Amino acid sequence: MVTVVFESPLGLVRVSGDEKGVAVISCTDSSVQEITPEIQSISPLVEPVQAAVQQLKDYFAGSRQTFDFPLNPSGTTFQQTVWQALLDVPFGTTQSYLALSRRIGDEKAIRAVAAANGRNPLWIVVPCHRIIGSDGSLTGYAGGLWRKQWLLEHEGAFAKSSQLSLF
């Protein structure tokens, strides 16, 4: 597994993967010095990781809305189903947890859908940040609600001047 760390407007981004695809993309408030011992390898870069880093940098620069590198996350069959459904939520839009539950075919699974959404290992690329409460509130985000708000504003899903509810 190859891991690369780079700076973004939201903190340090960590991208890990191998020849099969990217397994983890996460963000941290840690400094480079704090996480450097955790990095298993920074070279040579494998193609999926290299593509992910470049495409994420393009996303933060505002020149990319979709991603096309191979993904290889680990998760249960149910989690994989939820993460696959997240890929269908377009850039610049939001969807409620309830709507996502209905799309995967089980409205009553809303809590399980929310839990799978929260365990998404592929930050931004599998857009769990686009899932909000039925009332429009920005509920739950592993990276912090301020990051979720930033991402939605960056994508134009919410105007920067809007009065968003973070709870």
Question: Which one is catalytic: 25, 46, 49, 128?
Answer: 128
CA 8 to chain centre: 14
- Does 27 qualify as catalytic in the annotation? no
Distances, alpha carbon 85 to alpha carbons 51, 62, 71, 103, 110, in Å? 23, 24, 14, 8, 13
Cα gap 15→61, rounded to integer Å: 17
Question: Which are the catalytic amino acids?
Answer: 128
